[in-house]
């Protein structure tokens, strides 16, 4: 009976979390992970799923719209930097790629490589968003 109550509570929380906590990937990831874990593994699965979901949600938080707009408005350089690697959200950019800071947003930098605009976390050099 407790498992059903936990499962129902988790589902309600997951349904409310995206609306109540928009832009908070950690919370959304934790709620989604808890629901999935509860379905698959019961109460222990809910706990493990919540932790895993929180970590995954943190890694993929999109940048604020003002950062995306700023990067989109920057002129395309005359010389295009080309690298063999494909940029993927969550993966680091090569050390050879020069990052340009986003003014008033120290959590973000960007690069224009392979004619793509890439928003990056400058501390970890992890791709946060690829703008095509």
Q: How far is CA 97 from CA 37, 80, 82, 101, 102, in A?
A: 39, 12, 9, 13, 16
Residues 47 and 102 in one domain: no
Q: How far is CA 106 from CA 99, 110, 119, 121, in A?
A: 12, 11, 12, 9
Domain stops at, among 59, 88, 108: 59
Q: Is residue 94 domain-shared with residue 126, that is, in the same domain?
A: yes
39 and 72 in a common domain: no
Regarding whether 87 and 126 lie in a shared domain, the answer is yes
Owning domain of residue 24: 2-59
Residues 55 and 70 in one domain: no
Q: For 62-91, what is each residue's pLDDT tens digit?
A: 899 999 999 999 998 887 788 888 899 999
The number of helices, as runs of H, and strands, as runs of E, in the chain is 3, 4
How far is 14 from 25, CA to CA, in rounded Å?
Answer: 12
Name the residue with tokens 């349904």.
15
The residue among 59, 78, 101 that closes a domain is 59
Give pLDDT tens digits for 3-59. Answer: 554 445 454 544 444 434 444 444 555 555 555 555 666 676 566 565 566 555 555
What's the CA gap between 22 and 25, in Å, rounded?
8
- Residue 69 and residue 46 share a domain: no
Q: Structural domain tally of the chain?
A: 2
pTM above 0.85, yes or no: no
The reply to whether 51 and 70 lie within a common domain is no
Looking at the structure, do residues 109 and 70 belong to the same domain, yes or no?
yes
């Amino acid at each position: 009976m407790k498992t059903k109550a936990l499962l129902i509570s988790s589902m309600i929380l997951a349904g409310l979390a995206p609306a109540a906590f928009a832009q908070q990937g950690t919370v959304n990831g934790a709620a989604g992970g808890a629901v999935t874990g509860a379905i698959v593994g019961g109460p222990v699965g809910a706990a493990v799923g919540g932790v895993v979901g929180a970590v995954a949600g943190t890694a993929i938080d999109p940048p604020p719209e003002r950062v995306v707009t700023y990067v989109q408005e920057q002129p395309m350089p005359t010389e295009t930097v080309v690298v063999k690697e494909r940029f993927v959200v969550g993966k680091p950019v090569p050390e050879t790629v020069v990052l340009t800071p986003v003014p008033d947003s120290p959590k973000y930098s960007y690069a224009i490589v392979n004619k793509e605009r890439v928003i990056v976390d400058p501390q970890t050099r992890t791709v946060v968003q690829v703008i095509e």
